[in-house]
Amino acid sequence: MKHLILRRLTAILLPLLVMVFWTGSALAEEVDYSQPSSWAYYGIGDEAEKPADLFIICPTVDMGTHGQMAMPLDDEKLRANFVGALNMERGIYEEHTRMYAPYYRQVVFPVYSLPMEEQEKHLTRAYADVRKAFQHYLKNYNNGRPIVLAGFSQGADMTLRLMKEFFNDKALQDKLVAAYAIGWRLTEEEVKDHPWLRIAEGERDNGVIILFNSEKAGVEESIIIPKGVKTLAVNPLNWRSDSEPADRELNLGACFTNYGAGIKEEIPAMTGAYIDEKRGSLVVVDVPLGRFPQYLTGNGIFHIYDYQFFFRNLQKNVEDRIEAYMESH
């Protein structure tokens, strides 16, 4: 009986000990951002003399199937998926920007099922890599150029953390074209605590944040917007932050992309949208549930399609905001 109990305890505890040891050792070593191998994008577009820089942060690609809490940076398959996820977004930004994207030890997807305090411990560790990469970029690569910040999902969370920590600096504020933090939340309380955070009020203002979360009407909670939370948002069809509806004819094109940065399908005027007054979510009004399955997030939560539903509008807006920035500077 004693041996049986011991075997059962070993079977339960050993995987946990391995996970703790692996995660701790994975986070012990610092990432050297002076090495090009520490960057998924390393000055891409430099030869074309693009007018602005893009610092873009990857969304979650590690589903945590190996039991770790942070993505290992020496896993070649995960590194390829990391670049692929960035490639799905790059068409929005690449025509007008020189692109930088650091590899970082992002949290794995199961972290989001933990209590908020536990989530934050792991996200703080992930952010330590992002902030180090951003500081290295500013010191060594920026050279006074205008900056577009961008990130989707976990990448949007990291983008907002950078905004909170670094952009109270007037000189850095003046470099910011805009921050596209798509697929994450930002509350009025957070803005009160960080008054330099400004939500976009039109399609050409600079130094502002653009964010939204796509849902069907009637959704009450999600991983991104928990129940009882209201986020700020900007409608990418009319660039308003109120509940004014925008017709589908304003949608310049939904583009469904792949890991090779190609567009698999484009649908002009696919959906209209309005901002929900209670949740601050972006309600899409013309999207059939069966046509776009909601993997990982639940019915009616179109998180994985956030930028794809409004791809051409975002693409044009990046151009417009960079043009406005260059005119004013």
Q: Where are the domains of the chain?
A: 32-328
Letter for the amino acid at 4?
L
Q: Which of 174, 242, 177, 178 is nearest to 210 (CA)?
A: 178
Output the pLDDT for position 14. 36
Q: Which amino acid is at 277?
A: E
Residue 25 has pLDDT above 70, yes or no: no
10 Å Cβ neighbour count for 2?
Answer: 6
**CA distances for 102 relative to 25, 68, 155, angstroms:** 20, 20, 11
Q: 68-81 burial string, b = 16+ CB within 10 Å, else e?
A: bbbbbbeeeebbeb
Give me the pLDDT at residue 180, please. Answer: 98
C-beta separation of 176 from 324 below 8 A? no
| Tens of pLDDT, residues 211-227 | 999 999 999 999 999 99
The 10s digit of each residue's pLDDT in 69-112 is 999 999 999 999 999 999 999 999 999 999 999 999 999 999 99
| 8 A C-beta contact, residue 256 and residue 309 | no
First and final CA of the chain: distance in angstroms? 78
Give the global pTM.
Answer: 0.91
**Predicted confidence band of residue 33 (pLDDT cuts 50, 70, 90):** very high
Judging by beta carbons within 10 Å of its beta carbon (0-12, 13-18, 19+), is residue 93 exposed, middle or buried?
buried
Task: Give one DSSP letter per residue of 9-68, joined into a string.
Answer: HHHHHHHHHHHHHHHHHHHHSPP-TTSGGGEEEEEETGGGT-SEEEEEE-------TTS-
Query: For 141-193, how does the pLDDT look when each residue is reduced to its tens digit (9 = 90+)?
Result: 999 999 999 999 999 999 999 999 999 999 999 999 999 999 999 999 999 99
Determine the pLDDT at residue 29: 78
Local confidence band at 296 (pLDDT 50, 70, 90 cut-offs):
low
What integer pLDDT is reported at residue 121 of this predicted model?
97
pLDDT in tens, 37-75: 999 999 999 878 899 999 999 999 999 988 899 999 999
Of 83, 112, 95, 19, the residue nearest 50 (C-alpha): 95
> Do you know the residue count of the chain?
329
CATH class of 32-328: alpha beta
The predicted pLDDT at position 83 comes to 98
What pLDDT is recorded for position 66?
Answer: 83
Residue 16, pLDDT > 80, answer: no
**What phi, psi does 255 have (nearest 5°)?**
-125, 125
Dump pLDDT digits (tens) for 264-275: 999 999 999 999
Residue 200 CA to residue 37 CA, distance in Å, equals: 35
158 neighbors 55 (Cβ within 8 angstroms): no
